[in-house]
Amino acid sequence: AFIELKVNPWKEETAKLLKETGDASDWTPEQRRERCRLDAWASLMLASHYQDNRKDLVNISHRIQMTLYRVGLAGAAVFNSRFKRLGNEWRASAARYGDLVTRAAFKTGMTKFEPTNKNHLRELLFERLHLKKMGYTKKSHEAQVDKEVLKETLKLTSKKWKRTLIKNILHFSSNDKLAKALLGGKHKEKSIGFLKIPFPGNKNLSLLNNWINPLGAKTGRRSGGGTDKEISHGGVNPQNWHPKIRGIIVSRWYGHGGEGASFDYNKLEPLMMAWKLGSKALLEYFSVGGGGYIQLAKDLLHLTIEPGSSGYKAIKAIYLGIGYYMNDWKLSHDLWFKAGLKFSEDWDEHVRLTAKVRKKYFKMFPEVKAYHRRQRREVKKHQRAVGELGMIRHLYHLGPDMEGYKRYENQAINFPIQWLASLVTGSAMIDYERALLKEHKIS
């Protein structure tokens, strides 16, 4: 702004104070007002200066936004009988498995137990039953009791009754989450049952609106839902639904010849990543006839894998994880607990071998590390990341030594890839909407 508008920097005084004290509340009211005034003036002047250069970006952004808004207005049709049947089945299963787990907990001497309480689960599994702790939470450093860790604990547990208990905990957890998503728990206002409304002219269906924010995620992806207040007014995020829940959505012409369509851009993200990384070799893997993850697993890990297998999940985690700047420990964790791939039964050796695979990957595809360097340099020097059509994500920071700085580097690396992918899917929605309007002769 200083260069383009040919004015002296006006933030130096307050920036210096912030570096010294780390607290913007030390600024005087006059400093605060003047900085805000000049920030607002500069924003207006820069917008006017660059407006003509950003027409394509403004145009496509608004078109995608309005298409998404119309999708939200149209809503999705929920098949009522299927919704009710699944909700009741999952709630009954959760109650049954929850009762089995609670009775088992009382038999160990516990006097208070809730199967949804993680501290109660920790006491039951690790203090009463003395099972091996497989991982720890990042913030509180308590033993993890999530699904992936419990599945790993199950593999290492030999006694039949303990194995049955762990299985019952897993069954309770999955059914409880599914039931709450449909019927609600303590926060019913976030459930599908609360948000759906009668469908005009069809008592067999309900209408569910979903609002999608095209710039809602930090890395340039679209995000659904919003704040609790926004959600309670009719917004819902279907993006993270369990596959079993998606079956409640049908064509709004269900029973009258209408059919639902399910589209999966399963190669979009890896293709966009290879494109932005500038790697021709990776592009070939995910182009037509390139072999995709299956061929990459053969070349990198010397593994023969099948779609849906643990090996397939592992190579996908490696490709996306390394591309998005995941460190050795986090990649090791995801391979071990989420993908089910262990390079060794010993954790430390597994981490070492994961680092070795990561090093080999960089050697096979040197463009990946070069891209990381460019983006890290960009955020350090210019405090931003730049995407297609000149979209800029500002990443203001106080230098590499500040707490959480690595998250800024992650965003700088992720943003250009995921912003490009969101442009591709957004453009596809615009084309699809245009085709529908043409087919039905609507202008």
Predicted local distance difference test score (pLDDT) of residue 234: 41
C-alpha distances out from residue 58 to 215, 414, 416, Å: 13, 22, 17
Pairing verdict, β 197-198 and 205-208:
antiparallel
Find the range with the poorest average confidence among 45-54, 84-93, 135-144, 199-208.
Answer: 45-54
CATH topology of domain 76-258: Taq DNA Polymerase; Chain T, domain 4 (1.20.1060)
Helix (H) or strand (E) holding 207: strand 205-208
Predicted local distance difference test score (pLDDT) of residue 232: 37
C-alpha distances out from residue 333 to 126, 154, 260, 384, 443, Å: 21, 17, 37, 30, 52
**Structural tokens at position 298:** 């053969």
Predicted local distance difference test score (pLDDT) of residue 384: 94
Contact indicator for 390, 420 with CB cutoff of 8 Å: no
- pLDDT tens for 203-254 read 999 999 887 877 666 665 666 554 443 433 344 566 668 888 988 999 988 8
Q: Rounded distance, CA 169 to CA 157, Å? A: 14
Q: Rounded distance, CA 257 to CA 251, Å? A: 9
Find the range with the poorest average confidence among 191-205, 248-262, 280-294.
Answer: 248-262
Contact indicator for 134, 144 with CB cutoff of 8 Å: yes
HEC assignment per residue over 18-33: HHHHCCHHHCCHHHHH
- What spatial distance separates the first Cα and last Cα of the chain, rounded to whole Å? 42
Among 158, 154, 152, CA closest to 333 = 152
Q: Which residues share a beta bridge with 205?
A: 79
Range 53-76 average pLDDT: 88
Among 419, 392, 388, 373, CA closest to 1 = 392
Q: Hey, where are the domains in the chain?
A: 1-45, 76-258, 268-431
> Hey, is 77 helix, strand or coil?
strand
Predicted local distance difference test score (pLDDT) of residue 216: 65
> Hey, is 15 helix, strand or coil?
helix
C-alpha distances out from residue 269 to 22, 277, 287, 385, 423, Å: 39, 12, 12, 18, 12
pTM confidence score: 0.77
Predicted local distance difference test score (pLDDT) of residue 215: 65
Q: In the CATH scheme, what architecture does the domain 268-431 have?
A: Orthogonal Bundle (1.10)
The dihedral built from the CA positions of residue 324, 329, 332 and 338, taken in this order, carries a sign that is negative
Q: Which residues share a beta bridge with 249?
A: 78
**Structural tokens at position 346:** 């010993």
**Structural tokens at position 195:** 């948000």
Among 81, 68, 416, 102, CA closest to 272 = 416
Predicted local distance difference test score (pLDDT) of residue 370: 98
- pLDDT tens for 106-147 read 999 999 999 999 999 999 999 999 998 887 887 788 999 999
Identity of the residue numbered 241: W
Q: Which residues share a beta bridge with 206?
A: 78, 198
Instruction: Assess whether the region 76-258 and the region 268-431 belong to the same CATH fold.
Output: no
Identity of the residue numbered 331: L
Q: Rounded distance, CA 405 to CA 246, Å? A: 38
Contact indicator for 219, 270 with CB cutoff of 8 Å: no
- Residue the block writes with tokens 């080999």: 360
Predicted local distance difference test score (pLDDT) of residue 5: 65
- pLDDT tens for 155-189 read 889 999 999 999 999 999 999 999 999 998 877 77
Q: Rounded distance, CA 134 to CA 129, Å? A: 14
CA angle 254, 88, 175 (to 5 degrees): 105
Contact indicator for 316, 307 with CB cutoff of 8 Å: no
Query: pLDDT-based confidence at 299, cuts 50/70/90?
Result: very high
Q: Rounded distance, CA 90 to CA 182, Å? A: 9
- pLDDT tens for 344-355 read 989 999 999 999
Among 317, 288, 292, CA closest to 306 = 292
DSSP per-residue letters across 364-402: H-HHHHHHHHHHHHHHHHHSEEE-GGG-EEE---S-TTS
Predicted local distance difference test score (pLDDT) of residue 217: 62
What secondary structure letter does DSSP report for 245? G
| Alpha-helical segments (H) within 51-79 | 55-74
| Alpha-helical segments (H) within 215-346 | 228-232, 268-277, 280-286, 292-301, 310-323, 328-333
Range 14-30 average pLDDT: 87
> Hey, is 382 helix, strand or coil?
helix
Helix (H) or strand (E) holding 192: helix 192-195
Q: Rounded distance, CA 112 to CA 131, Å? A: 20
